[in-house]
Structure formats: C-alpha cells, structure tokens
Amino acid sequence: MADRLRSWWGWGWEDQALDERQTAKLAASLQHRFGIELAVRPPPDLSSTVLAEPRVRVPDAFAGWCHTDHHERASHTFGKAYRDVVRASYGQLGHSPDVVARPTTESQIEAVLHWASDAHVAVIPYGGGSSVVGGVEHRGEGDVRGVVTLDLTALDRVLEVDRTSRAARIQAGALGPVLEDQLRPHDLTLRHFPQSFEFSTLGGWLATRAGGHYASVYTHIDDMVESMRVVTPTGISESRRLPGSGAGPSHDRLFLGSEGSLGVITEAWMRLQDRPRFKRSSGVRFANYHDGVAAVRALSQSGLFPTNCRLLDATEAATSAGVTDGSTLLVVGFESAHHPVDEAMSLALTCCADHGGMIPDEPSDPGESNGNAGEAQRADQGRAGAVGAWRNAFLRAPYTRDALVRMSVIVETFETACTWDRFDETHHAITTAAMEAVERVAGVGWVTCRFTHIYPDGPAPYFSVFAPGRPGSEVAMWDEIKVAVSEAIGNVGATITHHHAVGRDHAPWYREQRTEALGRVLTAAKAAVDPSGIMNPGVIVDAPPT
Amino acid sequence: MADRLRSWWGWGWEDQALDERQTAKLAASLQHRFGIELAVRPPPDLSSTVLAEPRVRVPDAFAGWCHTDHHERASHTFGKAYRDVVRASYGQLGHSPDVVARPTTESQIEAVLHWASDAHVAVIPYGGGSSVVGGVEHRGEGDVRGVVTLDLTALDRVLEVDRTSRAARIQAGALGPVLEDQLRPHDLTLRHFPQSFEFSTLGGWLATRAGGHYASVYTHIDDMVESMRVVTPTGISESRRLPGSGAGPSHDRLFLGSEGSLGVITEAWMRLQDRPRFKRSSGVRFANYHDGVAAVRALSQSGLFPTNCRLLDATEAATSAGVTDGSTLLVVGFESAHHPVDEAMSLALTCCADHGGMIPDEPSDPGESNGNAGEAQRADQGRAGAVGAWRNAFLRAPYTRDALVRMSVIVETFETACTWDRFDETHHAITTAAMEAVERVAGVGWVTCRFTHIYPDGPAPYFSVFAPGRPGSEVAMWDEIKVAVSEAIGNVGATITHHHAVGRDHAPWYREQRTEALGRVLTAAKAAVDPSGIMNPGVIVDAPPT
C-alpha cells in the first residue's frame, strides 16, 4: 500500500487508472455510439504546471507539518468534480492553496485556526479531496490574504471501541478503508460505503451529510452520529455521547452539512453494526419503467427496509449491467447480522411480482464483502450476472471518468430527492432539461437514471449524462448542462443535493432552497463561532451584509 | 365531546378524574405502603383564585380572538408538571398570562408577533398545555411588559393528504385525536402516541422533540417531518417537502427542539404510515433485572425493530402490571401494515430466552386500536394479563397523579438516555440519588424504572418516584428530589431529557449539556429571527450578554 501513488489530477490510485488499451477500447465504443470521432489526450504532466508564489507564510513552529511544495499544492487545488478533473487534465491550476497543512494533533489544528484568524487567511478543511461540488477549492471568496488547505488524513485513528454499545470514537481524517481496517478486529463495521469510500474520510462524510451505499434505514451518515467534536476558531465544541436526546436543537445536526464553514470536525463517536452474516440479492426486471417505480414505492412503504434497492432505467441497465432487452432492472438485497433474510427477500419479490416484475429463479447469495471497496471490487469481478456487472461498473466509474475526460467526453452525475407524488414530474423535468441541454451543447448524448436511496415518502434519483465535448470547451459545456439541470431541480421543488453536498457549484440553487430565515441564522451562527470568517469562505454561509 | 370540560388545574377531561371513591381507595392503599396517614384535600375552586390585573392591552382588531377572562387566564397559567398541578391545586396562580390569544389564521399569528415585538410583550406558544418542564409558564424572564399566551388549538386542520407519498400537511394546533380522526378516512396514521396524546398538539411535539409510544425506528417526531412552516417575528420560514436532503444544515432540525424560542410552528408536512394490520405482543418475565437489560440490548441490536420494547423493573411490574413474583417484565410487540410479524416475534422471543427470559405459551394479538388513546383505553380495559394491566395504568397515570396531588403525595417521572456501556452506572447513580433524596425529604418512598425507547446504542430509561409529602411543602420537596436526580444525570453524562423537553425546569442542566459554542450560536440565531427577544423568553436560548 505504501508504494501506491494517488493520482495528482484524477481519481484514486495511479495504478488503477484505465490503461491505454482499455482507454482506446472505451473511445472506440463511444465513437460508435456518438457517431463522432474522439481524440484521446495523454494524461497531464505535473512538471509542466505552473503555480503562483505562496502569498502567506505560516509561523516557523508549523514547519514540520506544513508544506508548500509543488506536488502538495497542485494535488490539493481541486476536488474531483468533472470540471476539476478537466481543468487539471489541461494542467490549469487556478487558485492553488498557498500552504497545505497536515496536522498530526488536534492542537496543531487549533494553532492553525488561531493564526489564520489573526492573519486573515482562509482555512479549507480537506479529507479525501473527493468533493464533486467545489467544496475544497478556494475561488477568491472572503476578505483573506491567502489560503491554507488543512489535510486531515494524518488524524486517522480509531481511538476507542465500545463493543457493548457498538460504537467507536474515530478521528475525522480516517479514509473509509483505514477506519474499517481498524474496526474489523472487533467484528464491527461502520457500514458506510459511499462510491468515494476509498478516497473520502469520516470528517468529509459528516461535513457533507454523505449518503452510503445502502438504500434504507441506517444509510445517511447523519443517523450514525452519537457525538461530534469540532474545533472552531473560538473553541472546541463536543457533544455528549447519546443514543437519542430531546434537549434543545441538535448540536450535531448544526455541524452536519456545514461543509467546513463553521469549524473542523476532528472526531466523532459513530454507531457501528455487526458484520452481516446473512445476505440475499436479486435482479428483478420490469418491462416498463413505471412498473419498476411502483414496485420500489411499495417496497419503500412495506417496512421491509431492503439493504439495496437500486432501480436502473433501461439505458443504465444496458450500459452498466449488460441488460440489453430494454428492461428496467431492480437490484434488491437484504442483509442481517442476526437472522436469515430469506423471508424478507421472498416478501420483496412477491411485492415486485405484484407490480409486474420478472422474478429470477433463485435469489443469489452475494457472498462476503469485507467492507473494503477495493477488495469488494476484486471479489465482485468474479461475480456473474447483471447484479455483479452493475457493481463492477459502479466501483470503476470514477476511474472510467478520468479516461473519458482524456477524450473530452462530458460526464456528469447529479442527484436529488423528491416525494413520490412528484417523482414522475421531477424525473420528466430533469431528464428533459438534461437532454435539451445535451442536444444544444453537444448535438448527441444520453441521460440515465437510477435510484440510490429510498424512503417511505420518496426516492433519491441519480442521473448520469454522457455527451461528446469539444476539446477546450468541456467546462463551459458542462456548466451549461449543470445550470439547466439545477434550474429544473429548483423549479420542481426537489433538493439541489441528496448526498453530493453544496460546495461552491451548487451555491446559487442552495440559496434558493434554503429559507431566507435559515440564511440569516447561519450567517449569525458563523459570526458567533468564526468571527474572522476564515472557515471555507464561500461555502454554505453567506457573508454578513456590509 | 363538545360538552366535555377540560380540567382547569389538572389533567385532561374533568369527567375522567378519579372519583371520590377511587381517590379514597388509592389513599388507603398508599397509607398502607407508606405507613403514613394521608389527608385528601378537595379539588381546588377556580372562583377563589386571584389573578393580577392584565398589564397590557392588545389592539382592538384582536378583540374577537383574544381573551382576558379569568378562566382562560387561569387555565393557561401552568403546564402539567407536578409542581404546576400542586400549585394550581392550592389555587396559587403566579404569573398568569395577561392575554390568551386563540388565533384562527396564520396572519393573526403574524399580527400578534409584530405587535408584541413593537410593544415588548412576551409571546408563549401553547398547544395542549401538557408541558411537564415549565415550557409554557412565563416566570418574569426577558425585558417585557406583559405576556400573551398563544393558544394554537383552533388551527387544527389536516389541510392536504398525499396518499402516494403517505404524507399530510397538518396545522400545528391539532391535538392527537383531532389529527388522527382526520387521517382515518384516508386509512393513514401519524402513529405518534406520546402518553399526552389526547392533550398535546403536533406543534408541541415538534417544538419539544417528542418521543412517541413506539420503541424503535420511527418514533421520535424528528424523523417524521418532511417540512415545517414557522412564523418568526421577522418572517415566515418554510422548508421544502423532501424525503431526504444533504443540502446544508437542516432547517427543520434547527426548529425541532426550539420550544417556541425562535418562532411559532404553524404547519408541517408529516410522514404517515398505513394502519397496522398484523400485531403480536408478549410479556416476557426475567428473574433477574440484568438479564432483562441484556435481552433488550440484544433485541435493540438485532435489526428486528420491535414496535414495543418496554422493560419494567420488578417494582414497576408489581405496581403497574400486577406481576407480584418479583420478576422484571418485558412487554415486547411487533406491528406491520404489510406482512405478518410472527417470525419477528418468534426471533425476539428466542433472543429473550437466550438471556433467561420466561416465554409465555402464546404471543397475544393485542387487537386493533384506532389510534385514539381514549378509545384504546376503553378497549384495553377488557384486556387480560400483565400487558393489558400495564397499558391501562399507563394511560390513566396522569389522572391518577391529580388524585395523588390531592393527598400531597410526591410523584415525579424523569427520563434520560445513555449508551449501553454506561447503563448500569447511570441506572445506579440515578436510582441512588433519587432514593437518597426521597429518604431525606420524605423518609419513605420508592423509585421504579422502565425503558420507553431503545436504540442500537442505548436505552431511554424512565424513572418514577413516589413519596409522601407534607401539605404545603410538596413543591419544595419535589424540587429537592428533582435537583438531586438532575445532578446525577449530568454527572454520568446522560441527557437531561430524552423526550420531556427542557423548558424552564431543566434549564440549568441543559446549559451544562449544551456546548458553549452551541449556546452562542443559539443566542445569535435568536437575535437574527427574534431581535426583540419576545419568543418564550427564558427557554432554550440565553439572552445576549449585555
């Protein structure tokens, strides 16, 4: 592991990127689909990038853990949005941080915040750097003289495990596999597997209200928090460890979703689960998309709480799961550490059949995954059928996107949530807006939809867009599609984000969604804990009126 | 129903109070247990109470729906804490509101807040008036010239029902039975049944983060909210209806638990459920309390999500459920609208047996209750066995308490939540503190414990105290016990309240529990939405430093 290199410009491990043969094959396939020739650019060369001179200098006492070298600054410039990877792929690094701090203790974080408050330097908390919404990229906001990016990944320990309550105190800089590796000897798991799992941290999940891989009940990170510890510029705020409370507005819910604008999450006590022993998974096909939606709605309201309930529309089923007969595919699964899930699966399949679902002969046992996306991925590669094919595509998707960027293909994923009564309208409005924008900017392309999460009162649909881009214009083209889709989401009253967060890219639509009163409250809250306005300026909280 | 009268001083309907024969029987039984003679005072006489002259006059335009008559002001003086009922039983009405407003439209609420902001008059939102923490009783806090209590019960309509998403838009002043009656024709239920169900409102539940009757999953009102509409002194704030969202800190979680300190909740879109069709209930006995606790912990972590999971210690089982063999009693139940729950019950009973539980021969079908506590109560009166006996005692408890007040018996219930690893210590500390205080102030008495809610990481234990009081000294004696218990809760790091709220009675321990940073944030938030500081001053939010 120690020898593996993270890509400075794209996703994940350098050695996991698509190789030239795979890239050429992908290009050929897309050329065929788009009817347009695609030129593949080489990956960018770090040595040819240029950064501005650092504008600020940290105190000498910080020297051992603060860095200004080219690689650190370049690789911390952007998150991993499409527009980030495109810009990096062209070697265009705009507002790089002046300093990358890698604290190894909480008191170093306090020291940075004190110094930065006095020196008027912006501080951007940075976990795995997987933001797809411009959450970790300073764009000149705030009255600041420079920017320090605070990389928290050295604070990655599981500090305490409470087996009795099934909970652990975990440092916020722990990447997904790093924390799961420490929980495994205790036979416990956080069981929070966002697609970014390998390259995102507990603190990032908490700050952005991440959604995990699972479809229902305990999947939003919000519901797994017992207590949180946050270093603000005016002091440390740590809530009590409690399984539930009714004592005033929730401390933790104030910081959940604050995206680094109020302080730095340094630790949390997290609710854990026993590792699942019983699993069943099935792929149910529907001839008709609406039948699939109706089946999922019925499942969501059944009280069965499926672990997975991903409805892939026909295009996505074809692209990602090899289902070529035009069917809609529902991947439905159950897991338990305590009891067999055969009866739950049987009830779910009956529910699907009642809505026209074509039930496979035998639900499969999806086998044991140990909670490490990389290992799960390798295990899955041997798995046959539509369910296995879909999972492989899902886990490889961010690497595939880097290859697509090299051939100027425009790829965007956007997600929302709405109540069931508005789903048809929401789906139609978003799909139409996206397709119109794609045709306007690119001439051809396609839009797919799947459900990532379900609630009794509505789904969280997730859309993917693919279109050929013009080299050099990708970001402008992407922005046009993004604006069209975001406007459509706002117009139907859905949420601008269910789990991708707000950052800087979603800010205009977040401001419309957030009530005016909440906007004023957040501005006042920030003034109370961050009077110098140094914490991730431009994100979530508006600056006070001047 | 229209002819039934609410008690002006005690709980609920006047005609449901214990009659003189029942009261005498109760007194005789307690005299035997305490070994002390108890004198029963007559109920108080409203006509002999004295109120101060109103200090403020509302604008003439409010005349039709604002009241200053003796009955309205007297009956809105207190909530329903023990200390409230005692004081009322002696005819001691302290800070009565100057005016009781009963708005019938939201714009009347806006008008009250505008006028009150200008006139420096405190506004106390009031639903069913069932607060047990001094939440609706002004005690002179804030820089105000008078007090208006805003009774919201005229705003009690279900305005829209969305059958597809299973949700409804409900006015905040609807009492439990009033809203359930309107949902019943749609075959839907909010299924939120706190003990106060008949005499508490949706708005009160939301403002105080109420806990319902059910033990797990969807029981805290927090989790049933799709969106909330709040009238603040500086404008209306209404969130989008969403099944889930990751867009910034939650709007609704800011107002949940704000207890009227930031504004008046006027409406909410609430998540509903289908009415349960399948039910199983069992009473499992444990020879040993610790075995019962271990069984409940295992159940809480099993993923079975029991609907009921109330563990009654031996004293409570004897007092409330007629279990006289010294056993601990677990009332465990499952319900579903979708599928039979026999397998879940069977798995739960196996889990109990694994921990030494004595399993009854046959789990009972608890029958259909239509969600109206009054009707459920009548239906239950015919139900045999320990489970039925316990439910009857539970629903009659507030009426019983009024009779106990008349014989100067000190009755207090207090509740908390803690993680499983700390339960033994918490239980011991609270029980010890309560018993020591009881012996100090009253010489004799007893303390019981049951679980009201369970989470995978811990229970919500609920304690009851009974002791003989000295007429005229009940409040002082109660306060001494309350302080001792609240200190013990704080010392072990549990929560000062799981679902009774903070109000004025819990304020000192809430301030200790709340972080210093959250305190500053809430003060700043209040200044942003309620710059005149008129909303329920003294509750939740500290006044800004002067």
Residue B47 lies in a domain: no
Where among B244, B274, B304 does a domain terminate? B274
Residues B285 and B192 in one domain: no
Bridge partners of B462? B415, B450
ipTM, two decimals, is 0.94
Pick from A466, A453, A461: which is nearest to A426 by CA?
Answer: A461
Contacts of A259 in chain B (CB under 8 A): 248
Contacts of A186 in chain B (CB under 8 A): none
Q: Evaluate if residue B496 carries a pLDDT over 80.
A: yes
Q: Are the C-beta atoms of residues B479 and B414 closer than 8 Å to each other? A: no
Q: Evaluate if residue B43 carries a pLDDT over 50.
A: yes
Domain CATH number, residue B421: 3.40.462.40
Contact B243 A417 (CB under 8 A): yes
Residues B180 and B324 in one domain: no
Residues B355 and B480 in one domain: yes
Identity of the residue in A336, A514, A525 whose CB atom sits nearest the CB atom of B303: A336
Residue A27 lies in a domain: no
Pick from B114, B97, B117: which is nearest to B54 by CA?
Answer: B97
Under 8 Å CB-to-CB from A153, ≥6 apart: which residues?
A: A102, A127, A128, A173, A174, A175, A201
The dihedral through the CA atoms of B120, B121, B126, B132 has a sign that is: positive
How far does CA A17 lie from the centroid of its chain? 19
Nearest-neighbour CA in chain B from A343: distance (Å): 9
Contacts of A498 in chain B (CB under 8 A): 244-246
Where among B448, B463, B491 does a domain terminate? B491
Token representation of residue B532: 């005149």
Residue type, B117: S
Token representation of residue A86: 């495109």
> Counting beta carbons within 10 angstroms of the beta carbon of residue B120, is it exposed (0 to 12), middle (13 to 18) or buried (19 or more)?
middle
| Count of CB atoms situated within 10 Å of the CB of A337 | 17
Residue A384 — very low, low, confident or very high, per pLDDT cuts 50/70/90? low
Contact A249 B258 (CB under 8 A): yes
Residue B86 lies in a domain: no
| Count of CB atoms situated within 10 Å of the CB of A424 | 13
Q: Is A17 helix (H, G, I), strand (E, B) or coil?
A: coil
Domain CATH number, residue B260: 3.30.465.10
Residues A524 and A485 in one domain: no
Residues B418 and B468 in one domain: yes
Residues B294 and B240 in one domain: no
Contact B253 A250 (CB under 8 A): yes
Tokens 């549990």 correspond to B494
Give the CA count within 13 Å in the CB-facing half-sphere of A540: 34
- Rounded Cα–Cα distance for residues B88 and B68 (Å): 18
Task: Tell me what the pLDDT averaged over chain B comes to.
Answer: 93
> Which strands make up the sheet holding B146-151, listed edge to edge?
B66-67, B99-101, B146-151, B121-126
H or E stretch covering B226: strand B225-232
Pick from B521, B523, B236, B520: which is nearest to A516 by CA?
Answer: B236
Token representation of residue B304: 């079975």
Q: Are the C-beta atoms of residues A188 and A208 closer than 8 Å to each other? A: no
CA distances for A160 relative to A33, A107, A352, B179, angstroms: 53, 19, 43, 46
> Counting beta carbons within 10 angstroms of the beta carbon of residue B546, is it exposed (0 to 12), middle (13 to 18) or buried (19 or more)?
exposed
Contacts of B271 in chain A (CB under 8 A): 456-457
Q: What is the tens place of the pLDDT at every residue in A472-502? A: 999 999 999 999 999 999 999 999 999 999 9
Contacts of A206 in chain B (CB under 8 A): none
Residue B147 lies in a domain: no
pLDDT of residue B374: 42
Nearest-neighbour CA in chain B from A444: distance (Å): 31
- Residue-by-residue DSSP string for B476-519: HHHHHHHHHHHHHHHHTT--S-SSS--TTTTHHHHHHHS-HHHH
Residues A291 and A211 in one domain: no
Residues A68 and A147 in one domain: yes
Q: What is the tens place of the pLDDT at every residue in A44-66? A: 999 999 999 999 999 999 999 99
Pick from B375, B504, B502, B485: which is nearest to B94 by CA?
Answer: B504
H or E stretch covering A448: strand A446-455
| Count of CB atoms situated within 10 Å of the CB of A453 | 26
Where among B471, B491, B511 does a domain terminate? B491
Task: Tell me what the pLDDT averaged over chain A comes to.
Answer: 93
Contacts of A235 in chain B (CB under 8 A): 516-517
Contact A458 B297 (CB under 8 A): no
Contact A240 B495 (CB under 8 A): yes
Residues A347 and A362 in one domain: yes
Residue A10 lies in a domain: no
Contact B166 A301 (CB under 8 A): yes
Residues A229 and A266 in one domain: yes
Token representation of residue B455: 């989470």
Q: Which of A377-391, B351-365, B491-505 has the lowest mean pLDDT?
A: A377-391
Contact B525 A529 (CB under 8 A): no
Question: Nearest residue on chain A to B211, judged by CA atoms?
Answer: A246
The H-assigned helical ranges of B282-422 are 289-300, 314-321, 342-354, 373-381, 385-406
Residues A434 and A402 in one domain: yes
Q: Average pLDDT, stretch A147-160?
A: 98
Contact A247 B420 (CB under 8 A): no
For residues A15-37, one letter each, b for 16 or more C-beta atoms within 10 angstroms of the residue's C-beta and e for the rest, the string is ebbbeeeebeebbeebeeebeee
Residue B125 lies in a domain: no
pLDDT of residue B110: 98
- Rounded Cα–Cα distance for residues B337 and B339 (Å): 6
Residues A135 and A156 in one domain: yes
CA distances for B123 relative to A359, A523, B64, B97, B166, angstroms: 59, 25, 18, 9, 34
- Name which of B518, B530, B539, B542 to mutate to probe chain A: the one with the most chain A Cβ atoms within 10 A of its Cβ: B518
H or E stretch covering A269: strand A264-271
Q: Evaluate if residue A407 carries a pLDDT over 90.
A: yes
Contact B456 A528 (CB under 8 A): no
CA distances for B242 relative to A421, A539, B239, angstroms: 11, 22, 9
CA distances for A329 relative to A236, A315, A317, B238, angstroms: 48, 10, 6, 37
- Rounded Cα–Cα distance for residues A96 and A89 (Å): 15
- Rounded Cα–Cα distance for residues A523 and A543 (Å): 6
Q: Evaluate if residue A202 carries a pLDDT over 90.
A: yes
Q: Average pLDDT, stretch A29-42?
A: 94
Nearest-neighbour CA in chain A from B492: distance (Å): 10
Tokens 């930031």 correspond to B262
pLDDT of residue B379: 39
- Name which of B163, B206, B245 to mutate to probe chain A: the one with the most chain A Cβ atoms within 10 A of its Cβ: B245
Q: Are the C-beta atoms of residues B321 and B386 closer than 8 Å to each other? A: yes
Q: Average pLDDT, stretch B29-41?
A: 94
| Count of CB atoms situated within 10 Å of the CB of B143 | 12
Which of left, alpha, beta for A231 (phi over 0: left; psi -120 to 50: alpha)? beta
Contacts of A226 in chain B (CB under 8 A): 419, 457
- Rounded Cα–Cα distance for residues A201 and A126 (Å): 9
What total number of domains does chain B contain? 2
Give the CA count within 13 Å in the CB-facing half-sphere of A405: 29
pLDDT of residue A367: 52
Residues in chain A: 546
Contact A208 B246 (CB under 8 A): yes
- Rounded Cα–Cα distance for residues B56 and A97 (Å): 59
- Rounded Cα–Cα distance for residues B412 and B448 (Å): 11
Under 8 Å CB-to-CB from A375, ≥6 apart: which residues?
A: A369
Q: What is the tens place of the pLDDT at every residue in B424-471? A: 999 999 999 999 999 999 999 999 999 999 999 999 999 999 999 999
- Rounded Cα–Cα distance for residues A436 and A448 (Å): 14
Residue B232 lies in a domain: yes
Residue B545 — very low, low, confident or very high, per pLDDT cuts 50/70/90? confident
Pick from B199, B159, B160, B142: which is nearest to B176 by CA?
Answer: B199
Under 8 Å CB-to-CB from A193, ≥6 apart: which residues?
A: A176, A212, A213, A214, A371, A373
Q: Evaluate if residue B372 carries a pLDDT over 70.
A: no
Q: Average pLDDT, stretch B213-235?
A: 91
Domain assignment of residue A147, given as a range: 54-79+96-275+514-546
- Rounded Cα–Cα distance for residues A92 and B512 (Å): 51
H or E stretch covering A329: strand A328-336
Residue A72 lies in a domain: yes
Contact B498 A246 (CB under 8 A): yes
Bridge partners of B67? B100
Token representation of residue A515: 């009530």
Q: Are the C-beta atoms of residues B249 and A258 closer than 8 Å to each other? A: yes
- Rounded Cα–Cα distance for residues B129 and B528 (Å): 28
The dihedral through the CA atoms of A315, A317, A318, A319 has a sign that is: positive
Instruction: Report the share of chain A in percent with pLDDT over 70.
Output: 95
Residue B126 — very low, low, confident or very high, per pLDDT cuts 50/70/90? very high
Contact B421 A237 (CB under 8 A): no
The angle formed by the CA atoms of residues B65, B66 and B68, to the nearest 5 degrees, is 140
Helix axes B342-354, B289-300, angle to 10 degrees: 140
How far does CA B493 lie from the centroid of its chain? 22
Q: What is the tens place of the pLDDT at every residue in A308-318? A: 999 999 999 99
